[in-house]
């Protein structure tokens, strides 16, 4: 891909744009050629499990797929990479955090029994987001006994664009409130990862006015907060069939030619009379031409949205609309397209 040196990929987008699907596709693309990648879900929806057709993920890193370049429809080594997935459970993450920094052990379990953990993660401002970002950054930095990174890349399916910047920047607020001690140190370490060249934030959008505007605004907020931006992932792109000039011609001087083409295509039946065949297609002509005009107007609107996104001057990817929906095969298809465009 064209994000050299990036280890933590944060994927967000307006609701309904398919950010979870493209986060999974990106993780598969990064796992190809023998790499080891972790895909993290933070919203508790078990969307990753649904995409891969597996049981709900527990709070542990579990291998969900192997992937080679050939599976993505690309040339390359046959060495399979491994994709792991993790659905973060906020309560378990807090217990892990308390044990890691305060060595609470059994005391942490006792806090869970009396309801403290639930209170802290639902009432205390920002605690949940601190845990989620902290876990992702820990996975990106983790090293094995041999001193090498455990994962070549970590992909986080993050919250929607509207609250993304605050979600990622919450540790700056925590570091300001806790000016010393392990909480301050942990918050500083997390922000050190999130604001480093090892992180890239990608936004998923559609070629529609509202998602594109939210994407433009989202990147502006990320830049203002000093967070590293990555690329624009345009999802569900439909290929143009007709351009505006062709539709205008069909409505104008070439209307008769369109009618004749419909007759020749067999829409007028098999009557020997040309007039009969023409009269049969006449009721179809205006509705078909109206649909063609709507298509041309959509294509023109999409071109305007492309121009808005191009003005961001960021790496851009266009992923096709899959007519049969997104199953596991479709997910691999999207991953291959991401990798193909990233290598171009």
- The rounded average pLDDT for each run of 10 residues, N- to C-terminus, in the chain (344 residues) is 88 96 96 93 91 92 94 86 92 72 55 53 65 90 95 97 92 66 76 95 97 97 96 93 61 66 70 71 77 81 95 96 89 95 76
Integer angstrom CA distances of residue 6 from 9, 65, 85, 142, 329? 7, 22, 18, 15, 27
Report how many helices (DSSP H) and strands (DSSP E) the chain contains, helices first: 13, 8
Please return the burial class of 75, using the count of CB atoms within 10 Å of its CB with bins 0-12, 13-18 and 19+: exposed
Are both 51 and 125 inside the same structural domain?
Answer: yes
Q: Residue for token digits 């997390």?
A: 190
In-domain check, residue 1: no
- Domain of residue 162 covers 8-238+321-341
pTM for the structure as a whole: 0.84
DSSP state string for 217-257: HHHHHHHHTTPPEEEEEEEEEPPP---HHHHHHHHTTTHHH
Mark whether 148 and 60 lie in a shared domain.
yes
Total structural domains in the chain? 2
- Are 277 and 263 in the same domain? yes
Query: What is the per-residue pLDDT for 52?
Result: 94
Distance CA 292, CA 145 (A): 62
Residue 278 shares a structural domain with residue 206: no
Q: Is 199 helix (H, G, I), strand (E, B) or coil?
A: strand
State whether 181 and 145 are in the same domain: yes
Residues 162 and 268 in one domain: no
Burial code of 140-151, b = ≥16 C-beta within 10 A, e = fewer? bbeeeeeeebbb
Give 201's strand partners.
10, 229
Q: Contact, 250 vs 259, CB < 8 A? A: no
Pair 284, 159 in one domain: no
Would residue 210 count as lying in a domain? yes
158 lies in the same domain as 272: no
Residues 212, 245: Cα–Cα separation, whole Å: 26
Please report, for the domain that includes residue 168, its CATH number.
Answer: 3.40.50.300
């Amino acid at each position: 891909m064209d994000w050299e040196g990036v280890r933590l990929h944060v994927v967000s987008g307006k609701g309904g744009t398919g950010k979870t699907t493209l986060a999974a596709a990106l993780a598969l693309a990064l796992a190809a050629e023998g790499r080891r990648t972790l895909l993290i879900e933070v919203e508790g929806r078990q969307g990753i499990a649904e995409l891969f057709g597996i049981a709900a993920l527990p709070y542990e890193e579990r291998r969900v797929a192997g992937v080679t370049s050939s599976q993505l429809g690309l040339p390359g080594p046959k060495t399979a990479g491994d994709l792991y997935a993790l659905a973060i459970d906020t309560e378990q993450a807090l217990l892990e955090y308390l044990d890691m920094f305060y060595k609470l052990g059994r005391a942490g379990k006792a806090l869970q029994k009396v309801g403290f953990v639930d209170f802290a993660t639902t009432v205390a401002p920002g605690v949940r987001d601190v845990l989620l970002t902290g876990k992702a950054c820990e996975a990106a930095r983790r090293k094995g006994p041999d001193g090498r990174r455990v994962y070549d890349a970590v992909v986080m399916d993050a919250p929607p664009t509207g609250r993304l910047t605050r979600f990622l920047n919450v540790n700056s607020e925590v570091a300001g409130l806790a000016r010393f001690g392990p909480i301050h140190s942990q918050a500083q370490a997390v922000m050190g990862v999130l604001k480093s060249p090892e992180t890239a934030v990608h936004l998923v959008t559609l070629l529609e006015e509202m998602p594109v505007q939210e994407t433009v605004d989202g990147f502006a907020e990320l830049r203002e907060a000093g967070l590293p931006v990555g690329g624009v992932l345009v999802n569900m792109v439909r290929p143009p069939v007709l351009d505006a000039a062709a539709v205008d011609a069909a409505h104008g001087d070439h209307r008769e030619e369109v009618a004749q083409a419909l007759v020749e295509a067999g829409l007028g039946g098999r009557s020997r009379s040309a007039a009969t065949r023409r009269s049969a297609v006449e009721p179809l002509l205006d509705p078909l031409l109206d649909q063609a005009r709507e298509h041309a107007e959509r294509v023109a609107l999409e071109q305007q949205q492309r121009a808005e996104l191009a003005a961001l001057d960021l790496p851009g990817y266009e992923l096709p609309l899959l007519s049969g929906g997104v199953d596991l095969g479709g997910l691999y298809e999207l991953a291959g397209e991401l990798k193909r465009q990233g290598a171009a």
